[in-house]
Amino acid sequence: MAELLEIHTYPVKGEPGRDLQDAVVALEGLEGDRRKKAPVHVVAAGERGTDTRANLVVSLPPAELAQAIGTHLRVGDVDLAVTGTARDCPGVYADVAAPGRVRVGDRVSAGQGPA
């Protein structure tokens, strides 16, 4: 079973992010995060580098996360529509199909249809 390992927000561009244990995910993205190219950036733990600025770090294998493009990723109470690969960094971008709350340790499932 895959799970949510880390949650991060980046309120100010270029400055260090905040590490969270839980977060509210609205249609615009994580509460307290600045708006960027997509509401949510998700990365597999195996691809996370020291400079990766993803919101959610998951224990899915990188290939399985990449295969989720065009489908939905379920993270706790939240349904994410995976829209494509992140441009200059590992991971994928996602829109929020169903808002809710995420917590470190939440179950993650990939390749789902809409909730």
Considering the entire predicted model, what is its pTM? 0.93
Sign of torsion over alpha carbons 83, 84, 85, 88: negative
Domains and CATH numbers, the chain: 2-105 (2.40.33.20)
Q: Are residues 75 and 94 in contact, defined by beta-carbon separation less than 8 angstroms?
A: no
Q: Residue 23 is encoded by which pair of tokens? A: 């977060």
| Amino acid identity for residue 57 in this structure | V
> What's the rounded Cα separation, in Å, for the pair 47 and 43?
7
Type and span of the H or E element at 62: helix 62-67
Q: Are residues 8 and 53 in contact, defined by beta-carbon separation less than 8 angstroms?
A: yes
Q: State residue 113's pLDDT score.
A: 67
Phi-psi region of 70 (alpha: psi -120 to 50; beta: other; left: phi over 0): left
Q: Residue 1 is encoded by which pair of tokens? A: 């079973």
DSSP helix/strand/coil, 56: strand
Q: State residue 94's pLDDT score.
A: 96
Q: State residue 107's pLDDT score.
A: 97
Q: State residue 112's pLDDT score.
A: 67
Per-residue pLDDT of the chain (115 residues; tens, 9 = 90+): 899 999 999 998 888 889 999 999 999 999 999 988 899 999 999 998 777 889 999 999 999 999 999 999 999 999 999 999 988 889 999 999 999 999 999 999 997 666 5
